[in-house]
Structure 1
């Protein structure tokens, strides 16, 4: 089909007096073609060819459903349809998702890159709700990313208190094998009580201050209302939601965090979209230059919670039951939780301790906690049999005593 310029050229030559043969000779087009386009008053619209069948066609309804349901990543959708039998490449999936996903404009920012070992970024993200001990609780995600290598660590929690924040830091330090010189936060109350113009002059949460001084790293605060200052971690939170959490099934918090560790193995071994390098490769061989943990003793962080001891001598914690010595049944206990276990105190007396069980609906029963309970119950029962509780007492019938004069009166004919 001729273009608009070529059609106009043929018409112009014809208007100059050239015949079809001359126009054909000058333009190189066949005389039938010249005659055909001279007869047209307007240039016909090009006919679109029907699209060729694609390997992705059978999976497009599923992809559209998932895209409308949640903001899944194209990489995750590619993995899902692979399991369904798709044998094409990831690029075709990304191209399709890009065309059907709604476009969202974002303000421009200036990216700030950090040197190896200098900075990590931390944030929390809320994932939804889960049922624990018959109650709905919010589920949160702790995330830390190393600024240079982009190595990630994530952990799901049921709380965002200072104890949990510090424990997640310890787990992240252990995962990375060290910590950076400084860590960047937003203005979370678990870290800072009162922010100053200069971060070092801020009033820190006392428990958190004790923690960062113990390991010697410097906390930094991003500028207020400028979440892009923590752009690396903000992207990580959204990425965790879309690529890992949405649509995932799990039976317990431990199960979810085990799945998160498997997910981390994959993402930390995949090419990063910004650096175009594999985070694990940038991290290993001491490229990240972290401060090693073996230079200081491990920080012990203790969390305190209150529990009511049931009549059957158990307390409940994170969906599991733990026995307590029977003489404390019905009392209020305080739990001191640290390093995967907890100690139980009643009136400042330590009565027992337990390792925290994984999963839920499990029971830990220590025999010594119930030793003597059966004999005590039997003794109480025997006391009840020996001295039964009498509700009513019936006395014997008493015969009324009368004077003999009464009977003589009746024998004489009765009273008048």
Structure 2
């Protein structure tokens, strides 16, 4: 097809009186071509070339279906199709996702950056429900991010009470190998009971206050209704939902946390979208307070359970035996560092190591010693009580007055 300029040239030569043969010689086009384009009243429209085949073509339907399910990140979709055999680059995946993803506007914010070792941010996220021990429970996600390096820590829990919050902090500190000078929170009741205008004047949750004073970090509270104050953690929560949790399969809480730890290894080793640096590399510049300068801090978490008739309690999908004399009673579990102690009426009756996975049983023989003999005794007693002896009735004898015998002795009734 001729370009617009070439079509105009042919028409101009023809208007000057040149013959078709002369125009053909001057332009190099065949006479049939010259005649064809002289008949056209409008400039020829350029034809679009068919797009070149792309390595991404076989995977585009999969990506589009996934984006219909939820707002998956381009990075996660790249990982998934790579496992399916895609050997192209990450850029074409990002470009395609950007092209097909629905466009949404976002409000502008002013980003606040912190120096190394100064601040971390913490938040909870609700992740739906799971079934544990035959009951439907809410699933929560604890998130902590270091403000300077953007190193992340994530943990899933079944509770958001204060002991759980403290234990998640301890696990995060262990993961990072230290803690920052201050940690930013929203106004969660596990941290603050009554907020004051000045953060340090607030009425803190007593249990959490004991914790942060022991470690010496300063809790900061973000301004009410200003989530952008802790934008780093807000972005982290959303990223965890889209890049890790969405569509995830897991068999237990332990399995889910094992999966998220593997994901953390990847995400903390990947270039961050804001700093354009790898968090693990920036982490080398963090100046965290070391853990060895703080005495060991123990968190006891308490839960109640009903002891079943077969002398077991359920905890996180597994069964644990209890001495048989407490069958049917209500017990308190005190959970601490991988074990839990069982109390009935303030008496410690046993303890167990927490089993990984689910559908497992921890049975201690001593919990059932003497149970069989008691059952046999009880059965024997029931059998004995059920055997009621038979009684034979004496023949009925007519009862007479003694006066009758007096009459017989005197020869009466002749």
Aligned to 1:283: 283
Q: Which of 343, 353, 363 matches 1:355?
A: 353
- TM-score, with normalisation over the residues of structure 1? 0.87
Aligned to 1:206: 206
Matched, 1:297 2:272: no
- C-alpha spacing 1:9/1:180, structure 2 compared with 1 (3 Å): farther
Q: How does 1:21-100 map to 2 (within 5 A)?
A: 39-100=39-100
- CA shift, 1:156, in A, is 0.7
- CA shift, 1:166, in A, is 0.7
Matched, 1:398 2:369: no
Matched, 1:389 2:386: yes
Matched, 1:337 2:335: yes
Does the aligned pair in 2 maintain the 1:20–1:34 contact within 8 Å? no
Aligned to 2:240: 240
- CA shift, 1:379, in A, is 2.9
Matched, 1:257 2:257: yes
Aligned to 2:315: 317
- CA shift, 1:309, in A, is 1.5
- CA shift, 1:136, in A, is 1.2
Does the aligned pair in 2 maintain the 1:20–1:35 contact within 8 Å? no
Aligned to 1:410: none
- CA shift, 1:376, in A, is 2.3
Q: How does 1:43-192 map to 2 (within 5 A)?
A: 43-192=43-192
Give distance in 1, aligned partners of 2:7 and 2:205: 78
- CA shift, 1:398, in A, is 2.5
Does the aligned pair in 1 maintain the 2:3–2:46 contact within 8 Å? no
Give distance in 1, aligned partners of 2:156 and 2:27: 71
Give distance in 2, aligned partners of 1:20 and 1:149: 75
- Deviation per CA, 1:322-353, whole angstroms, max 9, x where unpaired? 11112222222111112121111111111111
Give distance in 2, aligned partners of 1:53 and 1:117: 49
Does the aligned pair in 1 maintain the 2:120–2:146 contact within 8 Å? yes
- CA shift, 1:38, in A, is 5.9
Find the residue that maps to 2:109 and give its secondary structure. Answer: coil
- Deviation per CA, 1:239-296, whole angstroms, max 9, x where unpaired? 1111111222111111111111111111111111111111111113xx1000001001
Give distance in 2, aligned partners of 1:246 and 1:31: 61
- Deviation per CA, 1:99-124, whole angstroms, max 9, x where unpaired? 11101100001111110000001111
Give distance in 2, aligned partners of 1:280 and 1:120: 15
Does the aligned pair in 1 maintain the 2:2–2:44 contact within 8 Å? no
- C-alpha spacing 1:4/1:196, structure 2 compared with 1 (3 Å): farther
- Deviation per CA, 1:115-140, whole angstroms, max 9, x where unpaired? 00000011111222111011111111
Aligned to 1:223: 223
- C-alpha spacing 1:37/1:292, structure 2 compared with 1 (3 Å): same
Gaps spanning 5+ residues in structure 1: where? 404-416
- Deviation per CA, 1:18-55, whole angstroms, max 9, x where unpaired? 5559xx99xx9668788876654322322111222222
Aligned to 1:407: none
Does the aligned pair in 2 maintain the 1:119–1:182 contact within 8 Å? yes
Give distance in 2, aligned partners of 1:390 and 1:277: 86
